[in-house]
Amino acid sequence: MPAVVLDQPSTTHRSARNVVATDAPIDPMTDPMATFPRRIRGHSGDGRSWELLTSRTGVSVVGETGRLAEAQVAEETGRVVVDIRPELLGLPADLVTRFVGEAFAHPAVRAQRPILVTLPRGDSAVLQEVEAHLDGALSRVAGVTCLVEGRVRPVR
């Protein structure tokens, strides 16, 4: 299996090369990457506030105590790779759903495209949410990592 090599960590800093930093008008219909960065604020069912920060390389979840999770998205020849890295296990279910949903909303993650998702072994909530976005999902354990392969399910 080829090594998974990802771009620099996601960031919303305007000087980073993975963030759109322009004051010129952009058309998201002709450039799907033009919608980045985005900041989505919300609260979990337990009352904790969070922000989802999207960029060209993925999505991060930031809470009151700092970064809670990150998903980096990278294109390889013939597939897309999503590397999910929670800083802690046990994120609220509603936040996991939103976080994984935003990772799968990235322009590189297109319907029927082959995909490899990596996530920490034992994070069953994230695994279940990932599998809900895939057709033909096959998962296996590699050390402390869970590898999930399949095809991106079309949005209904």
Rounded to whole angstroms, how far apart are CA atoms 119 and 121? 6
Domain ranges for the chain: 32-152
Number of neighbouring beta carbons within 10 Å of residue 29: 7
Residue pLDDT, tens place only, 15-52: 444 433 334 444 444 555 555 678 999 988 878 899 99
d(CA 76, CA 14): 25
Question: Quick check: 7 pLDDT over 50?
Answer: no
Strands lying side by side in the sheet with 58-63: 38-43, 49-55, 58-63, 66-76, 79-86, 114-120, 145-152, 134-142
State pLDDT tens for residues 95-153.
999 999 999 999 999 999 999 999 999 889 999 999 999 999 999 999 999 999 999 99
pLDDT per position as a tens digit, 46-57? 788 999 999 999
| Architecture field, domain 32-152 | 3-Layer(aba) Sandwich (3.40)
Residue tagged 């095809």 (tokens): 151
CA distance 94 to 113: 26
| pLDDT digit string, tens, across residues 68-83 | 999 999 999 899 999 9
